[in-house]
Chain A
Amino acid sequence: MSPILPPVGWSRDDMARLAALDIADGSYVNLGIGIPELVAAHVPPGREVVFHTENGLLGVGPPPPAGLEDPELINAGKKPVTAVPGAAYFHHADSFAMIRGGHLDVSVLGAMQVSEKGDLANWSVGEPDAIPAVGGAMDLVAGVKTVLVLTEHTTKSGEPKLLRRCSFPLTGRGVVTRIYTNLAVVELTPEGFAALALAPGLSLKEVRRWTDAPLSDARPKRVRMCT
């Protein structure tokens, strides 16, 4: 029997576009591997955002045309990228001084689970046989003040990822600022999850059904009347 799954809602590009809208002009931003990488293509016209990759480049540009890849010019996901005019290369200690020293404005990450306290789990499912690999995620959430999470609202089999408590090993405690899923934009408040926007056609009741923690309504009034 196939699992019961939530509505499709927003596409990954929609999610990336919504996150990009919340990133201010002039920001220095680190994009995690996966869905977060899509944010770079959705910076609104008129804004300049400088992308950082922890393997030593500030000013990450789009992927190079086929055939022009340089194995010495890659991003944290080890994919070929380009460097924009005005970019800078640096070594790993400088790169993480940018992260841990509070110099970056925004970190965009994927998630396996987020708790209503803002705890993030995105590096290990904690199985004894798994190969643990953490990379730079713990440094990013500890050092960057604004942490945006881009993730599907549930797992592939329909299990909620927004929870009262994370069951997987944590990346950081109380670190998430805002979550962009295919179903909703959710703010972390001292009281827990609060919906800022819902995907078209969805009701709060429906999104709550796929959220394993209380979800309050923080939508602007004008929007609320329309749905």
Chain B
Amino acid sequence: MIDKRVESCAAAVADISHGATVMIGGFGEAGSPVELIHALIDRGARDLTIVSNNTGSGRVGLAALIAAGRVAKMICSYPRSANSTVFPELFRSRRIALELVPQGTLAERIRAGGAGIPAFYTPSAVGTILADGKESRVFDGREYIMECSIRADFALVRADRADRYGNLTYSKTARNFGPIMCTAADCSIVQVRTLSEPGEIDAEWVVTPGIFVQRVVHVANPQQESRLVREGVAYP
């Protein structure tokens, strides 16, 4: 029998080790798996490479993971945003590395990683400093640069609903990177608001088919990152 449900966030992240590459879903707070990230902080793994669009805000979620000194390198498109102070401080004092990637290239590198494509050509960033050192090639008279795909050991994702097979649906713009990250990690761990019985999610409406998901954790009332930031909460 297939049953991907795990009883707690702590159990779901218990085998994430030092030096792991971890994709973390979310665009700002929308889709950020706050409870899974906090469990990863508790777990204590360090020297992590994190792939995520942003670097979190305040001192909760991804920002708290970075503040705890667990992240050696960020791969992201937009590491600064409102209420984002943790990453800038560490970056300026050279205590964290940054690989800056245009957002569409980041998404496509993850998609390619999940689809078994090692690299691809794109016109994004041609003629800019982000193309420095990259192989380039002309197709039909236009210049493109080569970008390599990204895979991860783990993905931490927040979805709306799951069944025991790991079939997922999402909520509005909280979907963002979740579906592609699930495809690109050896072990995708998903927190969901609602657990359903098989068949309750209509097969026509499944966004992420369960084959891309290894673990599902039920978090019925996820914390809202912006509220925690407003209240000045610092994790742990």
Closest 4 CB pairs of A and B: A139-B104, A96-B104, A173-B127, A92-B107
Whether A135 touches B172, Cβ cut-off 8 Å, given contacts A96-B107, A172-B127, is: no
Q: B interface, how many residues as a size bin?
A: 35 or more
Show 24 A/B contacts (Cβ-Cβ < 8 Å), sorted by A: A55-B27, A55-B30, A56-B175, A57-B172, A71-B225, A83-B172, A92-B103, A92-B110, A92-B177, A96-B108, A100-B123, A131-B80, A131-B91, A134-B77, A134-B78, A134-B101, A138-B102, A138-B128, A143-B104, A169-B129, A170-B127, A171-B128, A173-B126, A173-B127
Contact with B along A78-104 (1 / 0, CB 8 A): 100001000001111101100110000
B-side residues, CB < 8 A to A, are 27-31, 53, 77-82, 87-88, 91-92, 98, 100-108, 110-111, 122-130, 170-180, 207, 224-226
A residues in contact with B128, CB < 8 Å: 138, 169-173
Within 8 A of B (CB), among A113-156: 119, 129, 131-139, 142-143
- Establish whether residues B129 and A89, one from each chain, have CB atoms under 8 Å apart when the complex forms: no
Contact of B125 among A93, A96, A135, A138 (CB under 8 A): A138
Contact of B172 among A89, A91, A96, A129 (CB under 8 A): A89
Q: Which residue on A lies nearest to B144, using beta carbons?
A: A142
A-side residues, CB < 8 A to B, are 53-57, 70-74, 78, 83, 89-93, 95-96, 99-100, 119, 129, 131-139, 142-143, 169-173
A86 to chain B, nearest CB (A): 15
Q: Which residue on A lies nearest to B53, using beta carbons?
A: A92
7 more A-B contacts (CB under 8 A) besides A71-B225, A132-B79, A138-B102? A72-B30, A72-B173, A73-B172, A91-B175, A96-B104, A134-B102, A139-B103
Number of A-B contacts (CB under 8 A): 142
Identify which of A92, A93, A119, A172 gathers the most chain B CB atoms within 10 Å of its CB.
Answer: A92
Whether A133 touches B78, Cβ cut-off 8 Å, given contacts A72-B172, A139-B103, is: yes
- Establish whether residues A78 and B81, one from each chain, have CB atoms under 8 Å apart when the complex forms: yes
B residues in contact with A55, CB < 8 Å: 27, 30, 173, 176
B residues in contact with A70, CB < 8 Å: 172
B residues in contact with A53, CB < 8 Å: 173
Q: Which residue on B lies nearest to A119, using beta carbons?
A: B127
CA distance A137 to B174 in the complex (A): 21
Q: Which residue on B lies nearest to A130, using beta carbons?
A: B80
B residues in contact with A172, CB < 8 Å: 126-128
CA distance A191 to B17 in the complex (A): 58
